[in-house]
Amino acid sequence: MGAIVIHAPGTLTGVNEELKTRLSFPWLTPSPIPRRPLALIGDRSLTALQGHATAAASLNIALVVFDKQSHWIADNKTCSSSVGPPHVSTNTRQLDASIFCRRVSNAAELDALLAQDGAQLPYSLIVKPSRGWASEGVWKVISEPDLRDKVSRLWRDNFTAWHGRDVVIESFVDGPEIDANLVLVDGVFHVEGRLIDSQCCYTELASTSLDLARNKYFNEKDKTDVFLLEINPRAPGMQEVNTVARAYGVSYYSLSLLNALGEPKRQRMRNLSIPFTGGAQYHMYILFPAVEKGAVYHLGDVCELIRAKNPELQDQIVESKCLLTNGQAVPDPKTGSMTWLAYFLIISRKSRRDALEVGERVKSLASEYTGRF
C-alpha cells in the first residue's frame, strides 16, 4: 500500500498532478502475476538484504537465501535461479590511452615501472586498490617517495586480504565526478568517472561545503572529456539505490530482481525503469561522515541522538543508520582504512544549496556529539 503526502492540508488540489507524476507508466497488468522463486547466494546482513527483500515482496517473488545453516534467515526452501551478476567491483578500466594508468602487484613491478617511467610520471597521481570498496586505500601522491610509501601500505596483510595485491597508479583528475546508472535489456550497469577540462569545478562555499561553480580557467578551445573510474555490471551502492528510489521513483532493487527472472519481453522491468515525469521530487544529499581517529567506539547511535536533539531536522533526514556499534575497534584513518560513522539521506524541497547546508550541519553535529571520533 502506498500514499501521497498532500503539502496543503484540507485540499485535494494537485493530487491528480501528483498521481500523473508518480504513475507515469502502465502499472496494471491484464492478469495476475504468478509467484516465482529466486535464490540469493552467499551471506548478507539484514541491512544489505532489506532492499531486495522489500522489492521481492512487492513483485510477488519468493526470495530464498543459500548459505550456512546458522544464517539468520535460515529457510528450508530450495530453488535453482540466481539473483544476477555478483555484486563485486570489476577491475578499474582505463580506456583512454592519453591518460597515465598502470597496474602493479609486487615490489619488482613497481621498481620496473619507476625505472622506465619515473622521470616522466605526471604527478599528482592517484594510488588505489584495483579491487576497491568505499574509497578505502585511495591516496593522492605528489612524489616518488610518496608513491612508494602509499603503494607499500596497500600491500599490508589487512588490505590484501580484502582488496588483493593489484594496485592501480593513475593520473589525478580534479574535475567534477559523474555517476551514470544504465538500465539495459540485459541488466543494470553502474559507471563512475571524472570530467577533464570541464566548464565547472568544485568550489568551497561559505558554509565550508563544496559545490560546483563555473571554472574561471576553462578555455572554450579545450575539449571536455571523461576519465572512467569504474564500470560495474551491477546497480550502485545501497545508499545511492535508496536515493534514486526516493528522488526519481526508480528502484534498482526491483530491476535487479526482475532482470534475474528473465520474464518474456521484460515488460515489468521496462515499466519500472520510467522515472517520475517531472524529474527528481526534491534535492538530495548522501552524507557519510567518516571517523576522525582510531579507537574503540562506545558512543551509541549517533543518528538517534541527532534526531532527538534536533527535531527541526526530522523532515529533512529521511533515512539514516549508525554504522558503528559499541565495543567496535576502529582503525586509524591515517593507515588508509576507511570507516564510516553513519550515513544520512538528506532532502530539501527548496534548493540544492539548502540540501548541502543541512548536510554540513548534520556532519558537524555528528562530529560534535561523538567528540570528533
The 10 Å Cβ neighbour count of residue 152 is 12
Residues 6+ apart with CB under 8 A from 253: 51, 52, 54, 55, 235, 241, 245
Which stretch, 39-53, 167-181, 356-370, has highest mean pLDDT? 356-370
Q: What is the CATH number of the domain that holds 346?
A: 3.90.1170
Do 228 and 240 lie in one domain? The reply is no
Residue 47, pLDDT above cutoff 70: no
pLDDT category at 71 given cuts 50, 70, 90 is low
Give the least confident one: 73-77, 86-90, 257-261: 86-90
Do 223 and 241 lie in one domain? The reply is no
Q: What is the CATH number of the domain that holds 106?
A: 3.30.1490.20
Residue 336 confidence (pLDDT): 74
Stretch 129-153: mean pLDDT: 87
Residue 90 confidence (pLDDT): 32
Residue 251 confidence (pLDDT): 93
Q: In the chain, where does DSSP find H-type helix?
A: 15-22, 46-58, 107-117, 144-153, 157-163, 238-248, 252-261, 267-271, 302-309, 352-369
**Domain stop point among 128, 149, 171:** 171
Please report, as a single letter, which amino acid is at residue 88: V
The CA distance from 356 to 237, in Å, is 21
User: Residue 315 corresponds to which cell in the numbers above?
Assistant: 523532515
pLDDT category at 342 given cuts 50, 70, 90 is very high
Residue 300, pLDDT above cutoff 90: yes
Do 52 and 107 lie in one domain? The reply is no
Residue 114, pLDDT above cutoff 90: yes
Stretch 271-287: mean pLDDT: 90
Give the least confident one: 28-32, 81-85, 238-242, 315-319: 81-85
pLDDT in tens, 178-227: 889 988 877 888 988 889 888 888 888 766 578 888 888 888 877 888 88
Residue 354: name the closest of 256, 285, 255 by CA. 285
Q: Does residue 2 lie in a domain region?
A: no
Do 290 and 362 lie in one domain? The reply is yes
Q: Does residue 130 lie in a domain region?
A: yes
CB 110 within 8 A of CB 148: yes
Give the least confident one: 133-137, 139-143, 274-278: 133-137
Residue 13 confidence (pLDDT): 64
What would the DSSP string read from start to end of 134-180?
TTTT-EEE-SHHHHHHHHHHTTSHHHHHHH-S-EEEEE---SPEEEE
CB 178 within 8 A of CB 193: yes
Give the least confident one: 1-15, 39-53, 181-195, 314-328: 1-15
Residues 6+ apart with CB under 8 A from 17: none
Residue 18: name the closest of 271, 318, 277 by CA. 277
SS3 category, 36:
strand
Give the least confident one: 7-11, 46-50, 110-114, 342-346: 7-11
Residue 122: name the closest of 95, 152, 153, 101 by CA. 101
Residue 168, pLDDT above cutoff 80: yes
Sheet holding 139-141, edge to edge: 101-104, 167-171, 125-129, 139-141
Do 40 and 61 lie in one domain? The reply is yes
Do 251 and 228 lie in one domain? The reply is no
Q: Does residue 328 lie in a domain region?
A: yes
Residue 8 confidence (pLDDT): 61
Domain count, the chain: 4
Q: Does residue 17 lie in a domain region?
A: no
Q: Does residue 15 lie in a domain region?
A: no
Do 193 and 212 lie in one domain? The reply is yes
pTM value? 0.78
Q: Does residue 345 lie in a domain region?
A: yes
Q: Give me the percent of the chain exceeding a pLDDT of 90.
A: 34
Do 325 and 248 lie in one domain? The reply is no
The CA distance from 168 to 247, in Å, is 34
Do 360 and 294 lie in one domain? The reply is yes
Residue 78 confidence (pLDDT): 34
CA-to-CA dists, residue 169 to 26, 128, 140, 141, 172, angstroms: 48, 7, 10, 10, 9
Do 105 and 167 lie in one domain? The reply is yes
Do 289 and 323 lie in one domain? The reply is yes
DSSP state of 197: S
Residue 307, pLDDT above cutoff 90: yes
Do 247 and 300 lie in one domain? The reply is no
Residue 84: name the closest of 266, 264, 260 by CA. 260
By the 10 Å C-beta count (0-12 exposed, 13-18 middle, 19+ buried), 307 is classed as middle
Return mean pLDDT, the chain. Answer: 83
Q: Does residue 7 lie in a domain region?
A: no
Q: Does residue 92 lie in a domain region?
A: no
Axis-axis angle for helices 352-369, 302-309 (nearest 10): 110
Q: By residue range, what is the domain housing residue 223?
A: 177-232
